[in-house]
Amino acid sequence: MSDARTGRNGARRISVGGQSKGRDRGAGTGHGARRAAPRTGRTRLTRRGRIAAWSGGALAVLLLGATGAGGWVYQSLDGNIHAADIDDRVGGGRPVNLSPGSKNILVVGSDSRDGDNGAYGKGLTTMQSDTLMVMHLAADRKWATVVSLPRDSWVTIPSCDRGDGSRSDPHHFKINEAFAIGGTGGEVADAAACTIRTVERNTGLRVDHFMSVDFQGFKGMVNALDGIEVCPRTPIHDQKARLDLAAGCQTVRDEKALGYVRTRYSIGDGSDLGRIGRQQEFMEALAAKAQQKLTSPHALYGFLDSATKSLTTDKELAGIKPLTGLANEIKDIPGDRLTFLTVPNYARQADVPTDRANVVWQYPQAAALFASLGKDREVDKEELEADAGDPVYAHTVRVRVLNGTGVPGRAAAVARELRSAGFTVTEIGNAPGSAERTTVGYPRDQAEPARVLATRVPDSTARQDGTAAPGVVTLTVGRDFDGVR
């Protein structure tokens, strides 16, 4: 279990133990999740600081710069930020923005394998995403919600342009593969486009903006602060993260800082959810130390220089002025109206015993979360967590698939999708007539399993069927069928 404590001179330090059980407190609303109150010191970061820090670090820096540096800083650093032309690459069929004025910002921690980052994982695809989250800013700017999407989330990856002239086929895999598929040609814009398509496909949210920060910029930010103090309770030896730390308090920088936020298998339960919690704590500590240390224009400039050089955004956000404007919008949100969640989830092993590495989003809770944000409705975190306490696993949902499209083989193809998503298919056949809309019919005893299935099949509707056999739900595939989440 990890917690943050107060170190020398009031500095925030991070303590990590090797015997964590269950979810880390950063894990949010997953089944069995726990959230302990963090220990605090004099520099405890406010919730506003946390949301800024997790916006790739850049917004946290700009919030500092807005009060601590002159206009010359913005002019000299503006050219550092890379602009990605994403709109023309994402393609059509995107969700409609149901709440004009609200903003959904996709933030990616880029674990790219080119240039100086090549030492972190040989043999992997050129571009990788290490951290993924969606920040929703309400239209009235009175509240905001940040949803972390575990990189090991098993989701639908839609067909994407690889950036090398070829195109991928739709399939199910872990969500961070989308960045790698789109980035086959080495362009962040292509990687971002596929990631946006994947997030939109699985959440139903329209992504308005994109931000990506790579490893090297993170190192520069940490080094500009002379490192961050961490306090592992047990030694950490992780070859994949290139990390070798003794137990006890010590200051990490350079590769050790990177390794610390990347390490996974050698701490706690080895889950990506645990790593999310450690990364959140590290970024809190980084932003808190920046608030203390960056009191001179020279020190602030070095920090800003590293952050902005590592930053890629969509064209609309690519500049100090628009980013500072966004930071100021966040700054004005009341601290008690900033909510941090991880999408409700459970271990995929519950549905596929051989898969010990991935998680699946928990339905209907995940669908309800994203539907609320899509309609710009504030999420009640306690209610969501309580509702997620007793998951209905996909493999317990027994499905009969009927083809209402008139296209031969459609039921069999949909059955394969359902099985890939973890459902138990009991029968396939043809519907008695044609169907324009996809429906889920269920007997009285299958209301909750029907909700789970209906929320996994976009735009489908569930209705009770008094003639249905008990214990089975019926998916009638209509001409509007658009896959399984």
Q: Is the dihedral of CA 315, 319, 321, 325 positive or negative?
A: positive
- Name the band, by pLDDT with cuts 50, 70 and 90, for residue 355: very high
Question: What CA–CA distance (Å, rounded) separates 43 from 5?
Answer: 10
pLDDT of residue 271: 59
pLDDT (tens digit per residue) in 371-421: 999 999 999 999 999 999 999 999 999 999 999 999 999 999 999 999 989
Strands 473-477 and 398-403: parallel
pLDDT at 149 over 50: yes
Q: What are phi and psi of 434, to 5 degrees?
A: -80, 155
Is 483 a member of any domain?
A: no
Taking the CA atoms of the chain, what radius of gyration do you get in angstroms? 23
Is 123 a member of any domain?
A: yes
Please name the amino acid found at residue 426: T
Nearest to 243 by CA among 290, 285, 278, 273: 278
Question: What CA–CA distance (Å, rounded) separates 263 from 34?
Answer: 21
**For residue 270, what is the domain's CATH number?**
3.40.630.190
This model's pTM is above 0.85: no
Question: What CA–CA distance (Å, rounded) separates 55 from 62?
Answer: 11
pLDDT at 123 over 70: no
Q: How many domains does the structure of the chain reveal?
A: 2
**For residue 460, what is the domain's CATH number?**
3.30.70.2390
Are 144 and 120 a contacting pair, CB within 8 Å?
no
Percent of the chain with pLDDT over 90: 44
- Name the band, by pLDDT with cuts 50, 70 and 90, for residue 286: confident
Is 484 a member of any domain?
A: no
pLDDT at 83 over 60: yes
- Does residue 438 share a domain with residue 304? no
pLDDT (tens digit per residue) in 26-77: 333 333 333 333 333 333 445 554 544 545 454 555 555 444 445 556 666 8
Mean pLDDT of 83-110: 90
Where is the domain boundary, 365, 387, 409? Answer: 387
- Does residue 120 share a domain with residue 158? yes
pLDDT of residue 409: 96
Tokens representing 403? 């083809």
Mean pLDDT of 247-265: 83
Say how many C-beta atoms besides its own lie within 10 A of residue 80's C-beta. Answer: 16
Q: 419 lies in which domain range?
A: 394-477
- Average pLDDT over the chain reads 80
- Does residue 399 share a domain with residue 351? no
Question: What CA–CA distance (Å, rounded) separates 188 from 138?
Answer: 28
